[in-house]
Structure 1
């Protein structure tokens, strides 16, 4: 349990860092749409389940699906994507390189539609 929520994966600490991503700024867990479960990262998800991850659609970006490991606040997908790589609530920095694999979680190609 992290901040009262069950976060799955091979966690290294109580701020959602895992064996795959464990820099100081790797403090975001993502709720996977397919199983409605928080995981520390996509690799933790894939190692734990026997199904493919589903991406959140643009119409679902108001759902709370991001957990800040620093303060425990659940952010909406929209808040996270507009965050400029920090928590809107506690200002803890997030890993800016996560944007390179956000397509694994969110349907970003439809944002421009």
Structure 2
């Protein structure tokens, strides 16, 4: 904003201010104007930093949501594997009982 103002424009503003305000009050007004410009810049910088932090926090929240979805998917896969392992164990147990029965049956006769 202020970076686009050249030396000639600043000189013009200074001359107009000197004519309007007067030479005795110009230094005080210039200091006051400088103070408020600095304060405004600090406020703008502070607001920019807060906005930047909020965007960063939102990015982190989004990443956590995505990771939570991935964890839910992983939990689903683990549940399926657990169910498959249980079914496989049940199948092995049944087969083992059948083998035991077939071994015992000829001896009992």
Q: TM-score, normalised by structure 1?
A: 0.19
Pair member with larger Rg:
2
The structure whose residues are more often helix, as a share, is: 2
The structure whose residues are more often strand, as a share, is: 1
Q: TM-score, normalised by structure 2?
A: 0.20
Higher relative contact order (CA 8 A, sep 6+): 1
